[in-house]
Amino acid sequence: MTPPPPASPAAGANSAAERDVAHVLHPYTDHKAHRAKGPLIITGGKGVRVTDQNGREYIETVAGLWCAALGFNNERLVQAAADQMRKLPFYHAFTGRSHLPLIELAEMLVERAPVPMSKAFFANSGSEANDTALKMVWYMNNALGRPQKKKVISRIGGYHGVTIASASLTGLPVNHKLFDLPIAGILHTSRPHHYHHALPGESEEDFATRLASELEAMIVAEGPDTVAAFFAEPIMGAGGVIVPPATYFEKIQAVLRKYDVLLVADEVICGFGRTGNYWGSQTMGMQPDILTCAKALSSSYLPISAVLVNERVYEAMSEGASQIGTWGHGYTYSGHPVAAAVAVETLKIYDEMDIAAHAAEVGAVMQKRLRERVASHPLVGEVRGVGLIGAVELVEDKAEHRNFDPARKIAPRLVGIAENHGLILRALPNDSIAFSPPQIITAAEVEEMVERFGHALDDLSAQLKREGLT
């Protein structure tokens, strides 16, 4: 039997849960199911844990949305925001106006970039950063006098956001089907998931060669002079935590260089230590021309994202103004001073704690303990990941790598069970459960998280057995 949710809409007259159901339209939520179940209302947090309104504590295994890197009560970030609020709560960066947090943050990001970068542009979300990157590519190619070179290739299973262009870049049916997306000129190549898509006996290297050939065939079929850029996360996050096969980006980048196609690295999840290096691009051997980041940039205490461009892109964009008019793009809150000040403080903390080294060390514990505890579990098909990002995929048939019928909602059910074990989990496509805890997590907390997860999984098995369904 599925245990009751921790908070139900019937918890009392005009309870917060009832008010939620009455007034809130939630992102990424089944509205009908929500009316019946009600919200899980989080009221506080400390370190890697959050607390609900009934005082129950949970380990946040995905740092909220892969983002609260410094956990849920970092006082220095609070102070940085308060100080900047008093100094200058708002100013903008249009038409050459500037302010000090913006300058300092741009300088820090360019200094820390995985490859030589020239400039940083700011937005408020990962979606906006990727929309901006796409517009930069289009603007640049207009400025370079090659207006036909505009198509962009991303991957099935990739996640780049939900605005009209970034949702088009995203390669998931839920973001396309009922929204009449993708828009024209955005193409998707295969998901580099060896576990599901390799041919029988195909090595990771051979699978990578095949994927690169497929990409090349797509570019040639479209016409290389019409293909402008390739967008990729170093490790696909929301699409299932897909670690590409060995040699993948080496081979993909050889194709991109051959046809003068720019590489945009979406570091919205992988940036800032998550994979055990400062950038996922370093872990995966990517040399991007454009890099987008968000989330851990401010530990998500305030919304801010950035787009880094190399000198070649910047030069072309600079030429653009004289030929086709000013770079007519920017958000009121591009580089908002309070968000920028919090991001500057966040990056300073990362330096002090050597976030990449910490994530590599604790991430190794997470990868090892997850494998030890659940890899041989009858419901687990694959445990994958690098550093502090991982996933456990549930399957009905281990030998065949076959998932459960999605209608059975096995992973969402495990998410519900885990709440009773003090764990907030996130279900991804193919019944995969994500692990992306705050980067401050300690080895002891990793142990606790994995132990609680193991118990939740055992409960799920027991339930399925009782129901005679496995």
Q: What contacts 59, CB < 8 A, 6 or more positions away? A: 48, 49, 422, 423, 424, 437, 445, 448, 449, 452
- For residues 453 and 373, the answer to whether their CB atoms sit within 8 Å is yes
φ/ψ bin of 337: left (φ > 0), alpha (ψ from -120 to 50), beta (otherwise): alpha
Distance CA 112, CA 135 (A): 24
Residue nearest to ligand PMP (CB): 126
Is the Cβ of residue 216 or residue 267 nearer to ligand PMP in the bound state?
Answer: 267
- Which of 52, 60, 131, 233 touches ligand PMP (CB under 6 A)? 233
Scored b (16 or more CB within 10 A) or e, 70-98 reads bbbebeebeebbeebeeeeeeebbeeeee
- Which of 127, 132, 141, 253 touches ligand PMP (CB under 6 A)? 127
Q: Is 274 in the site for ligand PMP (CB under 6 A)?
A: no
- For residues 159 and 233, the answer to whether their CB atoms sit within 8 Å is yes
Q: Is 132 in the site for ligand PMP (CB under 6 A)?
A: no
Distance CA 27, CA 294 (A): 18
Quote the least distance from Cβ 3 to ligand PMP, whole Å: 28
Quote the least distance from Cβ 303 to ligand PMP, whole Å: 7
Q: Is 131 in the site for ligand PMP (CB under 6 A)?
A: no
Quote the least distance from Cβ 213 to ligand PMP, whole Å: 26
Environment class of 437 (CB within 10 Å of its CB; exposed 0-12, middle 13-18, buried 19+) = buried
Quote the least distance from Cβ 180 to ligand PMP, whole Å: 20
- For residues 280 and 249, the answer to whether their CB atoms sit within 8 Å is no
Is the Cβ of residue 66 or residue 139 nearer to ligand PMP in the bound state?
Answer: 66
Q: Is 164 in the site for ligand PMP (CB under 6 A)?
A: no
Quote the least distance from Cβ 295 to ligand PMP, whole Å: 7
Is the Cβ of residue 159 or residue 333 nearer to ligand PMP in the bound state?
Answer: 159
Q: Is 189 in the site for ligand PMP (CB under 6 A)?
A: no
Distance CA 23, CA 111 (A): 45
Q: Is 101 in the site for ligand PMP (CB under 6 A)?
A: no
Residues contacting ligand PMP: total by CB under 6 A? 15
Range in contact with ligand PMP (rule: CB under 6 A) among 38-46, 230-238, 350-358, 455-463: 230-238
Q: Is 424 in the site for ligand PMP (CB under 6 A)?
A: no
Residues 244-273 that bind ligand PMP (CB under 6 A): 266, 268-269
Q: Is 288 in the site for ligand PMP (CB under 6 A)?
A: no
Is the Cβ of residue 128 or residue 216 nearer to ligand PMP in the bound state?
Answer: 128
Tokens of 449: 């998280």
Q: What contacts 262, CB < 8 A, 6 or more positions away? A: 137, 228, 229, 230, 256, 289, 290, 313
Is the Cβ of residue 125 or residue 310 nearer to ligand PMP in the bound state?
Answer: 125
Is the Cβ of residue 143 or residue 243 nearer to ligand PMP in the bound state?
Answer: 243
- Which of 11, 41, 65, 156 touches ligand PMP (CB under 6 A)? 65
Output the CA angle 233-202-369, nearest 5 degrees.
60
Tokens of 433: 């459960």
Is the Cβ of residue 306 or residue 379 nearer to ligand PMP in the bound state?
Answer: 306
**Residue for token pair 């937005």:** 123
Q: Is 216 in the site for ligand PMP (CB under 6 A)?
A: no
Distance CA 257, CA 167 (A): 26
- For residues 60 and 299, the answer to whether their CB atoms sit within 8 Å is no
Alpha helices in 325-409 (DSSP H): 337-353, 355-374
Is the Cβ of residue 237 or residue 320 nearer to ligand PMP in the bound state?
Answer: 237
Is the Cβ of residue 271 or residue 337 nearer to ligand PMP in the bound state?
Answer: 271
Q: Is 151 in the site for ligand PMP (CB under 6 A)?
A: no
- Which of 37, 149, 155, 160 touches ligand PMP (CB under 6 A)? 160
Q: Is 440 in the site for ligand PMP (CB under 6 A)?
A: no
Range in contact with ligand PMP (rule: CB under 6 A) among 91-99, 111-119, 157-165, 347-355: 157-165
Q: Is 320 in the site for ligand PMP (CB under 6 A)?
A: no
Is the Cβ of residue 233 or residue 393 nearer to ligand PMP in the bound state?
Answer: 233
Q: Is 60 in the site for ligand PMP (CB under 6 A)?
A: no
Q: Is 238 in the site for ligand PMP (CB under 6 A)?
A: yes
- For residues 440 and 50, the answer to whether their CB atoms sit within 8 Å is no
Q: Is 156 in the site for ligand PMP (CB under 6 A)?
A: no
By DSSP bridging, strand 186-189 and strand 151-155 are parallel
Distance CA 197, CA 214 (A): 13
Contact residues for ligand PMP (CB under 6 A)?
Answer: 65, 125-127, 130, 159-161, 233, 237-238, 266, 268-269, 294
